Amino acid sequence: MARHTERREFDRLVTSAASGRGGAVVVAGEAGIGKSALIDAEVEALDGFEVLRAAGTEFEQDLLYATLHQLCAPVLEHRLTLPPVQRRALEGVFGLGAQTSPDPLTVGLAVLGLLREVARDKPVCCVVDDAQWMDDASRRALVFVARRVTTERIAVVFAARDVGSVSGLADLPRLPLAGLGDEDARAVLGAATHAGLDAEVVDRILAEARGNPLALLEFAHHAEPFGVPGPRRFRASVVDALEEQFVHRFERLPEATRSLVVLAAAEPVGDLGLLRRASKALGLDPAGFTVAENAGLLALGPRLRFRHPLVRSAVYASATPGMRRRVHGALAESTDPETDPGRRAWHRAHAAVDADETVAAELERSADRARLRGGFAAAAAFMERAGQLTPASDRQAARLLAAARLRLQAGAPNAARALVARAERRPMDDAGRAAARLLRARVDYQLSHSPQATARLVDVVTELAPDQARETYLEAFASFMYNDNQPGRLKELGVRIRKRAAQRESARPVDLLLDALLDQTMLPVERAVPAMREAVAACRAAAPSSSPWRMNLLCQVVIDLRDDEAMEEMADRQVDVARRQGALAALPQALRYQAVARVSVGRFDEAAGSLSEARAVDEAAGTVPLLGPELVLTGFRGDLNRYQELRELLGRDGRPFETVGEHYARAVLHNGLGNYEAALDAALAAQRRHQAGSYSIWAVYTELVEAAARVGRGEDAVAAMKHLEALARTNPVPWAVAEWLQAQALLDRGGDRETLHRQAIAHFARTRVRVLHARARLTYGEWLRRENRRAEARDELRAAHDVLSGLGARAFADRAARELRATGEQPHRHGENPLGRLTAQERLIAGKVATGATSKEVGVMLFLSPRTIDTHLRNVYRKLGISSRRQLREISL
């Protein structure tokens, strides 16, 4: 009769899912428009599907994973076949195992894995009604799943009113439901009424209902001679009219039945056993639920369900405050404190009239349980309510501040700021006031990351305990290193931290790392290097389980010190730690530092794989990826077009400009292309930042020297030469010494240029940095050709060309090829690397499979299904002309 187009779209989705091409859709429309009716009709017609259903409810928006638990509870036994980390995550969030704090991404992966296991037996259709009321933790997990079912036998259907207000749903395919047309509306009225209605009444109903099917049915059954009844003749919306209609029907029930309906409205799960126990606690006969069912307000079954969510909300809102408190009290009394302590505490909170320390303490314990399960939003809601019910003013302030911290961790800084303001209006001791100021400063810092907010954070941190203060100083300073687009501000910040950061007699690795970063920013190279080396030694010796985000910072220190052995070790260790700890927030940056290390040692394809994986994690988290390391890889590859594409993305759509990485990458790129003026401009810009007190990558000074030498502007390289000399003298590792020797050779400083070139090459040969070793042979070969020593030049240029071509450093390889031709020799044409035929994603998957990983293991790493991995592998085999994993290993090796 109606909704033919919408039903065809729904059929298309589930048919595709049944064949392994899943998808998601949001059925959107106002209350009563027919979302649930459409979904119910389609779900009932499904044959051979596992149908999982859940519904968001207003009263459980702050209860952790409430919606997800409804959806997954019937199939939780399938968790036993999941990878251990995913199984533990599910058991943690559903209270089936040890209390943990699983990362939201890990929970999303675990739910996706669970549904995949179910879909092995039959296709799965997940339906979430009233998605606008999902709790935040469930929303994140289910949106994550919905975006990743395109190669699964899984369909995900959300029904929501205001899609734009629910983060994540607006990006999914939408199936909007509008009001019925006049012809279909009249047909609904005709089918719903046994006796004919006067034409005038029909017209009034059509005008009032505006095509809303629920309104048509309600108004038709309760029509009066002059149209739709109700106390207000002018309503803001159809929803208002429907709520009035339901309240009118509710008020005509016997008093005892009304109390039962309010009780049901306060218990969103619809647990009939709980409702019977609670009704007896109120002295009511549970048989009265049948009266409400006969009145068309609710339906009884395995679970009690209201005819429509509007019925629940209208009934609950129309009840007196006293009645609401009584039913919540009965529900709290009837809820098992062992199996469902959080919901019991929530009902007790709604039943309380005055401040009650016993209830507040129970809510605080529920907040702790929610926090351990990774639900910061739920924990914050519990703690906020605990603060409201705390009788002692000082204890109340402390709980409100705790709620503010949780709101901040949950990514709600504005809500956190409001809670801090409420706490500050209560009496607090000095420690409480200091904690409030710190929280306010953290909120401002998280909202803007501006220099002013960072400075305020540093000022407030002085009031903390020394250990906590230095942790916060490191966080603020490290963040600002890459976000300082006002040269000099970083040094000013360092001065303030140095004045305030108390020195420790027994320094921890974190203390040494803070000191190293401060020295690197504020002191000359020769005075900064000792602290940098001490921090590296301490962190390398520390337990492998150190925080991955701190190791990110250490990686930058190691690279600046030109310690190639520590560089690879720490880059790989931080990725391993991030994976083992499930620290998916830190993993992308760990992978990017790993990529930078791979570039230095000439493993460009592996670097591209690390960057591709980092992008996959960022996409899964919905975060904006940083582009600096990809710019560096592109610069070494000499890909001008790709570099320009990436650079255009900087500063757009809320991305940081990433000045530090862009300057260095641009200098490398143009030195490879032979655009030495452009390379010098980029390197000098980085040097000016550094001299003004901002951070710049130290490696830019070798690029500056080479560019200055090529354009005959040696005077521009004076500061760079001093930097390289100081680094080589205070940290005489082969890499640093090689760069200092090569700089002298390029600028004809300090003696025999040939000897300097040869010594530089010899020192580079002792390192792992193959690309720089090959570049050193290139510059030596160029010098030999200009000295008319063509035969010797050919040997160096040929070797440089072979290595640079093999690595994929195309621009530098082309430079070597031009020089070879100038000596009279045609460069050898290298055979195509077969892996070059693959996309970045295919190369990443091929590399991981070549190491022996299974499709399931690779899928877990890359947030893809095993089916998707196998599809990519088939493409890899076709492009490479092979048919097995063994052959793939041979090609990769």
Domain ranges across the chain: 4-176, 255-465, 834-892
> What residues contact 611, with CB distance under 8 A and at least 6 apart?
591, 592, 595, 629, 630, 633, 840
Coil, helix or strand at residue 271: strand
Is 577 in contact with 544 (CB distance < 8 Å)? yes
**What does DSSP say about strands 124-129 and 305-306: parallel, antiparallel, or unpaired?**
unpaired
**Cα separation of 415 and 809, whole Å?**
50
755-774 pLDDT, tens digit per residue, is 999 999 999 999 999 999 99
Sheet strands (E) in 70-171: 124-129, 154-160
Is residue 719 pLDDT above 80, yes or no? Answer: yes
- What is the reported pLDDT for 228? 40
Q: What percent of the chain has pLDDT over 70?
A: 83
Q: How far apart (Å, rounded) are the C-alpha atoms in residues 46 and 123?
A: 10
User: How crowded is residue 890: how many other Cβ atoms within 10 Å of its Cβ?
Assistant: 11
Whether residue 420 contacts residue 387, with contact meaning beta carbons closer than 8 Å, is answered with: no
Range in 287-301, 566-580, 592-606, 770-784 the model is least confident about? 566-580
Q: How far apart are CA 507 and CA 476, in angstroms?
A: 19
Residue 88 · residue 118 · CB < 8 Å? no
Contacts of 851 (CB under 8 A, 6+ apart): none
Residue 393 in tokens: 């003013």
User: In the structure encoding, which two tokens stand for residue 288, read together?
Assistant: 């009265």
| For helices 659-673 and 628-637, angle between their N-to-C axes, nearest 10 degrees | 0
- Tell which CATH architecture fits domain 4-176: 3-Layer(aba) Sandwich (3.40)
The identity of residue 442, as a single letter, is R
Q: What are 508's strand-pairing partners? A: none
CB-facing half-sphere around the CA of 865: CA atoms within 13 A: 25
CA atoms within 13 A on the CB side of 415: 16
At what angle are helices 587-600 and 604-621 packed, to 10 degrees?
Answer: 170
SS3 at position 102: coil
112-116, 459-463, 794-798, 874-878: range with lowest mean pLDDT: 459-463
Cβ atoms of residues 56 and 26 within 8 Å: no
Whose tokens are 């220190």? That residue is: 557
Nearest to 757 by CA among 734, 732, 738: 738
**Closest Cα partner for 429 from 384, 392, 467, 473?**
392
pLDDT tens for each residue of 792-827: 999 999 999 999 999 999 999 999 999 999 998 888
- Alpha-carbon gap, residue 314 to 294, rounded angstroms: 18
771 Rama sector, left if φ>0, alpha if ψ -120 to 50, beta otherwise: alpha
863's CB contacts (< 8 A; 6+ apart) are: 105, 109, 148, 616, 617, 619, 620
Q: Which residue has the tokens 């040939």?
A: 754
Full strand arrangement of the beta sheet holding 124-129? 50-55, 124-129, 154-160, 23-28, 174-176
Name the β-bridge partners of 124: 50, 154
- The Cα–Cα gap between 520 and 528 comes to 5
Written out in words, the top-level CATH class of the domain with range 255-465 is mainly alpha
**Placement of tokens 């063509």 in the chain:** 790
β-pairing verdict for 305-306 and 298-299: antiparallel
The pLDDT value given to residue 168: 78
Residue 536, both tokens: 């590296």
Cβ–Cβ < 8 Å for 34, 184: no
Residue environment code for 597-616, b if the CB has 16+ CB neighbours within 10 A, otherwise e: bbbbbbbbbbbbbbbbbbbb
Contact (Cβ atoms closer than 8 angstroms) between residue 559 and residue 600: yes
| CB neighbourhood size of 121 (10 A) | 11
Mean pLDDT, rounded, for 200-210: 59
At the top level of CATH, the class of 834-892 is mainly alpha
State the average pLDDT over residues 279-290.
94
Q: Mind listing the pLDDT tens digit for each residue in 48-73?
A: 999 999 988 776 777 778 899 889 98
Residues 6 or more apart in contact with residue 141 via CB below 8 angstroms = 65, 68, 104, 107, 108, 111
The pLDDT of residue 34? 75
Mean predicted confidence (pLDDT) in 189-207: 57
* pLDDT confidence tier of residue 250, bands split at 50, 70 and 90: very high
Report, as an integer, the average pLDDT of 4-17.
89
**Which one-letter DSSP state was computed for residue 253?**
S
**Measured distance CA(439)–CA(888) in Å, rounded:** 54
Q: Which positions ≥6 away from 650 have C-beta within 8 Å?
A: 627, 656, 657, 658, 662
Instruction: Look at residue 232 in the predicted model and tell me its pLDDT.
Output: 39
Of 170-174, 582-586, 678-682, minimum mean pLDDT range: 582-586
Contacts of 42 (CB under 8 A, 6+ apart): 7, 10, 11, 14
Are the CB atoms for 122 and 150 separated by under 8 Å? Answer: no
DSSP symbols for 820-876:
HHHTT-PPPPPPPPGGGGS-HHHHHHHHHHHTT--HHHHHHHHT--HHHHHHHHHHH
Mean pLDDT of 551-576: 89
Look at residue 306 in the predicted model and tell me its pLDDT: 85
Q: Answer whether residue 596 shows pLDDT above 70.
A: yes
Between 721 and 875, whose confidence is greater? 721
Residue 194 has pLDDT above 50, yes or no: no
Residues 6+ apart with CB under 8 A from 406: 367, 371, 376, 377, 379, 380, 383
Beta-bridge mates of residue 157: 25, 127
- Quote the CA–CA distance of 446 and 444 in Å, as a whole number: 6
**172 or 218: which carries more pLDDT confidence?**
172
List % helix, strand, coil for the chain (3-state, nearest 5).
70, 5, 30
| DSSP-based three-state secondary structure for 225 | coil
Pairing mode of beta strands 23-28, 154-160 = parallel
Between 209 and 62, the higher pLDDT residue: 62
Res. 125: pLDDT tops 70:
yes
Least confident piece of the model among 118-122, 197-201, 651-655:
197-201
Tens-digit pLDDT profile for residues 312-367: 888 888 999 999 999 999 999 999 888 888 889 989 998 998 999 999 999 999 88
pTM, two decimals, is 0.65
Nearest to 43 by CA among 126, 112, 116: 126
Dihedral of alpha carbons 281, 283, 285, 291, sign:
negative
Compute the average pLDDT of residues 211-234: 50
Tell which residue, 672, 673, 646, has the closest CA to residue 657: 646
Q: Are 208 and 179 spatial neighbours (Cβ–Cβ below 8 Å)?
A: no
pLDDT digits (tens, 9 = 90+) for 70-123: 899 899 999 999 888 888 888 888 877 765 667 777 888 899 999 999 999 999
- Least confident range from 152-166, 218-232, 549-563, 869-883: namely 218-232
Average per-residue pLDDT for the chain: 84
Residue 701 has pLDDT above 90, yes or no: yes
- In sequence order, what DSSP letters do the residues of 449-476 get, joined into one string? --HHHHHHHHHHHTTS-HHHHHHHHHHH
25: three-class secondary structure by DSSP:
strand
325 sits in which H/E element = helix 321-334
Closest Cα to residue 382, out of 438, 331, 344, 420?
344
Two tokens at 676?
Answer: 């030495």
Q: DSSP label at 45?
A: T
CA-closest candidate to residue 537, choices 565, 504, 518: 565
160: left (phi over 0), alpha (psi -120 to 50) or beta: beta
Is the pLDDT reported for residue 204 higher than 60? no
Indicate the residue type of 581: Q
| Closest by Cα among 808, 766, 803 to 781 | 803
When pLDDT is averaged across residues 746-759 and rounded to a whole number, the result is 89
Per-residue confidence band for 658, with pLDDT thresholds at 50, 70 and 90: confident
The stretch 501-507 carries a mean pLDDT of: 68
Tokens encoding 157: 């259907």
